Structure 1
Amino acid sequence: MLGVLANRTYRHLFLAQIIALVGTGLATVALGLLAYDIAGPNAGSVLGTALAIKMVAYVGIAPVVGAFANRLPRRAFLVAMDLIRAAVAVSLPFVTEIWQIYILIFVLQSASAAFTPTFQATIPDVLPDEKDYTRALSLSRLAYDMESLVSPMLAAALLTVITFHGLFAGTVVGFLFSAALVVSVRLPQSRATEQRGSIYAKTFRGISIYLRTPRLRGLLALNLAAAAASSMVIVNTVVYVQSKLQRPSTDVPFALAAFGGGSMLVALLLPRLLDQRPDRPAMLTGASIMAAGLLAGAAVATVGGAYEWPAFLLTWFGIGVGYSMTQTPGGRLLKRSAASPDRPAVFAAQFSLSHACWLVTYPLAGQLGARIGMAPTFGVLAAVTVLGLLIAWRAWPASDQDELAHEHPDEPHLKAHLEEGHRTGTRSHRHAFTIDEFHPKWPDDQ
């Protein structure tokens, strides 16, 4: 897997990703302490609102940026977003009012919503080989999991020698280092083409391509399944450990580490698996494992007993395994489903639509956990996961192929295009199929 780091451009981008993630993790811890410093007992409400603002920014901003990102110099754009995030982090220690937190969080997360899908869409052009790209996806998954484990520990260590305001300085340094690493490499520019139509059509072009592609409709359903399972972990771990199990707060990281450990294990093993098997069976299996893990969690919460804590950790580990197996290959589907000029818009669509799923499942997990208890909440989220799995199984054909034979209308402007790929008839040919101006609709017989 580490062989892809021999590519200097990717190595610098990967390091930029890790450093920015650690900086973001430090900011998350510092923001919680800042909210408590300002709002006291109402800090939970402040953080809940900040999380909602984050998701609204992700869902609303990403498609707008994706519509025009392929027309902008990638390196300058990514550096600008890092600098905006650094500027917000510099401002946060000086906040004295709750409304100021909300405004700065919206700006920070809007910059992240612009940075992340553009960054993700750049990697396939840096690593065009499918095997290399698969390994890069696994490394990216490992980076996210490591951040969830390392950032809280690093923050705890730093807080022994500095105040929480100092954590924001770490965030600033992270974003500045990320910008410096991006500046240090030359990035391939996507082959930009001027898209016809209104601003509305350009803004939603990525989502339109996404929803007209069967495998991506399946991916969206699997995003829902993954959001349901991960929301149970992210939202209710602390409640389950401290309220239901009556264990100390120091045990919460162990539970989150069990989830992250399962995810990391699969990220290490997945590249070799995907070298031999297609994406669809692996991702559907991952969703099935998540559903089984949630049902197991319902049983553990109902039965209880002396072994509830180790059973709970094993459940979280299993859900982490399924989550990584479902999420990691998603970038391969996006790469296969969009031509280079449309890739930023399609990655932005994935970013926006997947976070729309979390926008639904986060409050669902929180409200159900508080109102009906842990065991029924496990059951409801397992049902949502199974629903996503079934929709994906139905929407994503088992016979999914990259190259499809298809016909075109007998129109003069299509004659040159018909010479591309393998000609199969007067008005038909076969090639790697993506939704674009020549192919507005997926072939009906596929």
Structure 2
Amino acid sequence: MSTYHGKEATREEPRNVSLFGHRDYRHLFGAQLVALFGTGLTTVALGLLAYDLAGSDAGAVLGTALAIKMITYVTVAPLSVAYADRVPRRFLLVTLDMIRALVVLALPFVDQVWQIYVLIVVLQSASASFTPAFQAVLPDLLPDERDYTKALSLSQLASTMESLLSPLLAAAVLSLVSFHWLFTGTSLGFAASAALVLSTRIPDAARGDRGGAWERTMSGIKMYVATPRLRGTLGLDLVVAAAGSVIMVNTVNYVRDTLGGTQSDVALLLAANGAGTILAALLLPRVLDGIPDRTVMLTGGGTLLAGLTGAIALSTVEYGAAAPVVWAVIGLGTGLVLTPVGRVLRKSSRPADRPAIFAARFSLSHACWLLAYPIAGRLATDAGFTVTWLVLGALGVIGFVTAVRAWPRNDEDHPRPHAKAGFRNP
């Protein structure tokens, strides 16, 4: 029986209903999808706005905006936990969506670069609070393990499809109107997301009793580093960031400068990477029925290291025919690591601790990206791709070894801290 707070009725969803037969999940997935594509359109429009304001310095502006985004993610997500369970969850999500809608709507009116930075801080602060709160809803809304696994796969699939399709959608819109209209469309998307969330009957977060604001802020990170399997997932997050930064930061320059390829070739490599992630998301609901999360995620980590090894080999020759395969392998490994991680977080926490655990994971995983991004960007400029990818490969090996050592092989029998500290046995 799922208990809904407020005036909503208390009732049990039919057990033999498909995942999309759950009305509240269906609306939440729609909200996620609309917000994802809105974010993708904002990324395209922000690049054009930076060029409009800064011209040849647009790259520096975008680099700074990306750094601001990551720093905001790392710092704000844990802070938001201190008060996330003090307000109704639905009210929180709707408010954060509306803040994002208003910020995006204001972006076309800026005329100074510093104004972009200020609005990015506000926008990404809202996103850093929204995303972990949204992720923490699903375990409470979908208590059945198989339904929850399918929902995780769909979330990963939606995120990957957004990265592939948003540029195409933006190009179609830009063929008809000015890029400023992308911000308007994005704002409407966030407003639609808020309306969909408002139409649900999601349960409020279970209120924890973890002392003052600072203690509540740090509780998720303390629980995360104190739980062996979660330390293992953090090691794998470092592997994902090391390999993913090759894709996110270096693909354009690798294709254009090393291979002498075209913009279409850049799109092909990014599509190959996305196809690998999609394949993992489609296969995992069945795979996870019979194979432990640890095995699947460590396999993903090994796959990512294999992909990085392939990229290093490619960087030593001017022959890119195998590049789509290497990029697809990295995408496959990314999907194998990221898709099951929500199951591990749910297994490692009580309902009252889930907002803190999901926020801690959001913050710590982005800290890994904050470490890997500058290496991929600055070192590639100074030392070339081979040296850069060797360094990132070493970083990935450190993360993988950490995961193997921290995550007990016989995970089900490994003793857990007492539930009073915020943990429970699987």
User: Which TM class, normalised by the smaller chain length?
Assistant: over 0.9
Letter in structure 2 aligned against 1:395: A
Whole-angstrom distance in 2 between the partners of 1:387 and 1:8: 43
Q: Deviations over 1:141-200 (max 9, x none)?
A: 00000000110000001000001101001111110110010011111123213322x322
**Is the CA contact (8 Å cut-off) linking 2:353 and 2:422 kept in structure 1?**
no
Question: How far off its partner does 1:78 sit?
Answer: 0.2
Q: Deviations over 1:45-75 (max 9, x none)?
A: 0000000110111011100112221222011
**Is the CA contact (8 Å cut-off) linking 1:365 and 1:381 kept in structure 2?**
yes
**Structure 2: 5+ residue stretches without partners:** 1-16
**Is the CA contact (8 Å cut-off) linking 1:66 and 1:346 kept in structure 2?**
no
Letter in structure 1 aligned against 2:266: V
Letter in structure 1 aligned against 2:399: G
Question: How far off its partner does 1:439 sit?
Answer: 4.0
Q: Say which of 348, 353, 371 aligns to 1:337.
A: 348
Whole-angstrom distance in 1 between the partners of 2:317 and 2:47: 34
Whole-angstrom distance in 1 between the partners of 2:143 and 2:41: 33
Q: Say which of 187, 192, 207 aligns to 2:207.
A: 192
TM, length-normalised to structure 1: 0.89
**Is the CA contact (8 Å cut-off) linking 2:96 and 2:127 kept in structure 1?**
yes
Q: 1:418 — aligned with what?
A: none
TM, length-normalised to structure 2: 0.93
Report whether the alignment pairs 1:204 with 2:215.
Answer: no
Whole-angstrom distance in 2 between the partners of 1:441 and 1:241: 47
Whole-angstrom distance in 2 between the partners of 1:80 and 1:251: 41
Letter in structure 2 aligned against 1:159: L
Question: How far off its partner does 1:211 sit?
Answer: 0.8
Whole-angstrom distance in 1 between the partners of 2:109 and 2:424: 53
Q: 1:374 — aligned with what?
A: 385
**Is the CA contact (8 Å cut-off) linking 2:349 and 2:423 kept in structure 1?**
no
Report whether the alignment pairs 1:347 with 2:358.
Answer: yes
1:246 counterpart SS class: coil
Question: How far off its partner does 1:4 sit?
Answer: 1.3
Whole-angstrom distance in 2 between the partners of 1:389 and 1:327: 14
**Structure 1: 5+ residue stretches without partners:** 406-432
Question: How far off its partner does 1:373 sit?
Answer: 1.1
**Is the CA contact (8 Å cut-off) linking 1:66 and 1:347 kept in structure 2?**
no
Matches within 5 A, 1:218-297: 218-297=232-311
Q: Which has the larger radius of gyration?
A: 1
**Is the CA contact (8 Å cut-off) linking 2:348 and 2:424 kept in structure 1?**
no
Matches within 5 A, 1:394-413: 394-401=405-412
2:80 counterpart SS class: helix
Q: Say which of 46, 54, 61 aligns to 2:69.
A: 54
Question: How far off its partner does 1:441 sit?
Answer: 8.8
Off by >6 Å, runs of 4+ in structure 1: 440-443
Matches within 5 A, 1:21-420: 21-196=36-211, 198-305=212-319, 308=320, 310-401=321-412
Whole-angstrom distance in 2 between the partners of 1:319 and 1:376: 19
Whole-angstrom distance in 1 between the partners of 2:103 and 2:423: 43
Whole-angstrom distance in 2 between the partners of 1:68 and 1:224: 28
**Is the CA contact (8 Å cut-off) linking 2:210 and 2:219 kept in structure 1?**
no
Question: How far off its partner does 1:435 sit?
Answer: 5.7
2:289 counterpart SS class: helix
Letter in structure 1 aligned against 2:310: A
Question: How far off its partner does 1:251 sit?
Answer: 2.1
Backbone CA RMSD of aligned residues: 1.6
Whole-angstrom distance in 2 between the partners of 1:39 and 1:87: 24
Whole-angstrom distance in 1 between the partners of 2:169 and 2:244: 23
**Is the CA contact (8 Å cut-off) linking 2:81 and 2:217 kept in structure 1?**
yes
Q: Deviations over 1:405-430 (max 9, x none)?
A: 6xxxxxxxxxxxxxxxxxxxxxxxxx
State the percentage of identical aligned residues: 54
